[in-house]
């Protein structure tokens, strides 16, 4: 069972705004729900600033020249980089990345892993990278191994 009570989302800054407040949700085993809301647009950000942030984030994942391409014209790796850019453009306080470089060539994977690390550090965020790749894990500060007995730290 999952139980959420009183969940609130606020955007700070010079013009703080409340996105939602006092949300409660209970899910039982077998429940399958959709949560709908406004688009993955940059809520609470001026249009010019949003355009600049999107362009900078796409450039950071190596897709500046593909900014106007429809999804059907992008490769699997490019789509994966778009997903990473979409997640990072908001400057989140928590970054959860599940095999973010699985479809990428080694050079692009290295760039994306560097970008994830840089964004976590620059935003004072927390980051969790879930991966089977030792190379990817080595870009993190610590590596934890999930076993049937729980998490344990892997020493370098």
CATH number for the domain running over 2-154? 3.40.50.300
Would you say residue 95 has pLDDT above 60?
yes
Residue range 45-76, pLDDT digits in tens: 667 887 888 899 999 888 999 989 998 999 88
**Where exactly are the structural domains of the chain?**
2-154
Structure-block tokens of residue 152: 């344990």
- Count CA within 13 A, CB hemisphere, residue 10: 9
What is the per-residue burial (b if ≥16 Cβ within 10 Å, else e) of 32-65? Answer: eeeeeeeeeebebbeeeeeeebbeebbebbbbee
> pLDDT digit string (tens) for 107-140?
889 988 998 998 889 888 889 999 999 999 999 9
């Amino acid at each position: 069972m999952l139980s959420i009570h009183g969940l609130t989302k606020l955007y700070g800054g010079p013009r703080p705004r409340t996105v939602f407040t006092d949300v409660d949700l209970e899910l039982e085993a077998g429940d399958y729900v959709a949560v709908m809301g406004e688009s993955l647009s940059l809520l609470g950000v001026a249009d010019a600033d949003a355009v600049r942030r999107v362009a900078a984030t796409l450039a950071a994942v190596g897709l500046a020249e593909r900014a106007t391409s429809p999804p059907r014209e992008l490769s699997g790796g490019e789509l994966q980089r778009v997903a990473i850019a979409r997640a990072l453009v908001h400057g989140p306080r928590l970054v959860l990345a599940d095999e973010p470089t699985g479809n990428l060539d080694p050079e692009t994977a290295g760039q994306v892993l560097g970008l994830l690390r840089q964004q976590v550090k620059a935003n004072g965020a927390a980051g969790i990278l879930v991966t089977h790749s030792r190379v990817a894990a080595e870009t993190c500060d610590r590596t934890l191994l999930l076993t049937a007995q729980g998490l344990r730290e892997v020493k370098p």
